[in-house]
Amino acid sequence: MTKRLGWFLAGGLLVAALLAGVVSSFASSSPDGLDAAARKGCTFDANDHITGGTCMAQQEQDHQLKDSPLAGYGIRGIDNPYLSTGVSGILGVLVTFGIGGGVFWLVRRRGQHGPEHDVRNANT
């Protein structure tokens, strides 16, 4: 890996981590487009419980991993919601970067098994 590529990747990782760690704390808690569409047709009380009507939200079920340490865009055990969301976002960026880097590494190694796989040596 060239030095310039390393700096580029490090810079991209830093920007992504900063956005996930800081900007994610300012995300809106209002329902997004999918939630709004799923709630259309129902009425809700002040506690956001369905009180009547018919909508897709009535079929909503808890996720199987709802009790996992990273469920709900936060980290269980961190009481500060901003810190919990920020750390969760940074962990998500690191895991995604690690998986993506691993896939690219595997694909690159697979392509180095001989000249028949090397585009530069192909006779066209």
pLDDT digits (tens, 9 = 90+) for 60-117: 888 888 888 878 788 888 999 889 989 999 999 999 999 999 999 899 888 776 555 5
Confidence (pTM): 0.65
For the chain, give the percent of residues with pLDDT over 90. 48
Question: Phi and psi of 28, rounded to 5°?
Answer: -70, 140
- Cα 91–66–73 angle (5° rounding)? 35
State the pLDDT at residue 106.
92
